[in-house]
Every structure is written in structure tokens, then in C-alpha cells.
């Protein structure tokens, strides 16, 4: 059994033990949300997933684990619709394509609207993933924090930025370990 399969089983067990955790995965289209979700789910990379076009909501249900992925890009006029997902959410994961520097301002705008300025998630931990670290041009966490002004905007929030690759799996374990630990602490 591969390391990631072991990891997936460990994660599922851990979240089951914690009863139920609804985790929203937000981010621009093509950031890697579906790939990441499938990776965590199965323990391996899946190429050729159907690209997200327009409004896209995916829900993955495990016995004790409920992940809803929400693609928010280009949906400003429908923003009110996203609000139905936030209540009861235990954590937010915001996925960024760290190799797509051109879209960083857009990612920051969406992060601001849906996370920084969103009172519905102000108390939940936020995991920001600088995804696609397998690509040489990917920006790493310390610079990402500066470019997105996270050290200023998120100073009153529980958050962390992790480098990862949903393609190789590198960094995914560390990131989800942080998230699970936050969920456990919230239950104490």
C-alpha cells in the first residue's frame, strides 16, 4: 500500500473520529481543487479530470467527512449563492495555482471576498495551499504571504500557508495534518 493510501486512510479515520467536518475548498478555476480532492480521496494523482466551466460544486461524502469544493471564479453576480455553503463549515481550504503569477491578484480578490471579509468563516481555520510546487515557476509560501498581504489581512485569523503539489502529493500530508489538528483543537 502506498504512502498516500496510508495517509488517506489515516485522514479518513481521524476525521471520522471527529464525527463530521464540512470543509470548503475554494479557489480560482484550475487552481487544482478537484485534483487535490481526488488525491486526498484516493491517494494518487488523476490526470484528465473534467475542467471546471462556470458554476461548479462538487461534494464528496465519507461516513464522517463531508468535503464541498466550490469554484468561485467569475461568479461575482451569484456570490449570494455561495453563502449557503458557509454555515456549519469547520474549515476552509483555499487553493492557489502558485505558478500562475498573472492570476494572483484575482486569487487575492476572491480570497478577500470569500474569506477575509466573510463573517461566516471568521472563526474557522483557513488552510491556504500554494499548489503546483512541482512547477519550477511556483511561488513558495513566504513570498505568497507577502504578495497576498496575508500577514496583515489574516492577522486575527487562524491560518497557515503550505506549499504542495496535488500532482506529486508533496506537502499535502503536512498541510492536512495542520488542518486536522486545528479541527481537533476547535473541539476541545
Of residues 55-94, which lie at the interface with ligand G3D (CB under 6 A)?
71
**Least Cβ distance, residue 44 to ligand G3D (angstroms):** 12
Out of 52, 90, 131, 182, the residue judged to bind Mg ion by CB under 5 A: 52
* Nearest distance from C-beta of residue 30 to ligand G3D, angstroms: 4
Report the relative pairing of strands 56-62 and 65-71 from DSSP bridges: antiparallel
Q: Specify the residue, 16 or 103, whose C-beta has the smaller distance to ligand G3D.
A: 103
* Cell (9 digits) for 98: 502558485
For ligand G3D, how many residues bind (rule: CB under 6 A)?
21
Q: For residue 34, state whether it binds ligand G3D (rule: CB under 6 A).
A: yes
Give the residue among 8, 16, 24 at the shortest CA–CA distance from 125. Answer: 24
Q: Any contact of residue 172 with ligand G3D (CB under 6 A)?
A: no
Between the alpha carbon of residue 70 and those of residues 14, 73, 139, the distances in Å are 23, 9, 23
Please provide the DSSP assignment of 14-31 as one string: HHHHT--EEEEEEE-TTS
**All three cell numbers of 88:** 456549519
Among 14, 85, 114, 132, binds ligand G3D (CB under 6 A): 132
CA 80 to chain centroid: 20
Could you tell me where the DSSP H helices lie in 30-171?
Answer: 33-42, 79-82, 104-111, 141-147, 150-153
Which range, of 77-85, 140-148, 164-172, 178-186, touches ligand G3D by CB under 6 A?
164-172
Exactly one of 26, 27, 32, 34 binds Mg ion (CB under 5 A); that residue is 34
Cell numbers 462538487 correspond to 58
Alpha helices for 31-140 (secondary structure H): 33-42, 79-82, 104-111
Q: Does 31 bind ligand G3D (CB under 6 A)?
A: yes
- Choose between 95 and 160: whose C-beta lies nearer to ligand G3D: 95
Query: Binding pattern to ligand G3D, positions 93-122, x when CB under 6 A?
Result: ------------------------------
**Site of interaction with ligand G3D (CB under 6 A):** 27, 29-35, 47-49, 51-52, 71, 131-132, 134-135, 165-167
Amino acid at each position: 500500500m502506498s504512502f498516500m493510501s496510508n495517509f488517506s486512510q489515516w485522514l479518513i479515520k481521524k476525521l471520522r473520529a471527529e464525527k463530521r467536518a464540512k470543509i470548503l475548498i475554494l479557489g480560482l478555476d484550475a487552481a487544482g481543487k478537484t485534483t487535490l480532492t481526488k488525491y486526498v480521496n484516493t491517494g494518487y494523482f488523476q490526470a484528465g479530470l473534467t475542467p471546471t466551466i462556470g458554476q461548479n460544486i462538487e461534494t464528496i461524502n465519507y461516513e464522517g467527512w463531508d468535503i464541498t469544493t466550490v469554484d468561485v471564479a467569475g461568479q461575482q453576480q451569484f456570490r449570494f449563492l455561495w453563502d449557503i455553503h458557509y454555515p456549519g463549515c469547520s474549515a476552509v481550504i483555499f487553493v492557489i495555482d502558485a505558478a500562475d503569477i498573472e492570476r494572483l491578484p484575482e486569487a487575492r480578490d476572491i480570497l478577500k471576498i470569500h474569506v477575509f471579509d466573510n463573517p461566516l468563516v471568521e472563526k474557522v481555520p483557513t488552510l491556504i495551499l500554494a499548489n503546483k510546487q512541482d512547477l519550477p515557476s511556483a511561488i513558495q509560501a513566504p513570498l505568497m504571504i507577502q504578495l497576498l498581504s496575508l500577514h496583515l489581512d489574516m492577522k486575527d485569523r487562524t491560518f497557515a500557508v503550505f506549499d504542495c503539489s496535488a500532482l506529486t502529493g508533496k506537502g499535502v500530508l503536512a498541510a492536512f495534518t495542520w488542518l486536522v489538528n486545528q479541527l481537533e483543537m476547535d473541539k476541545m
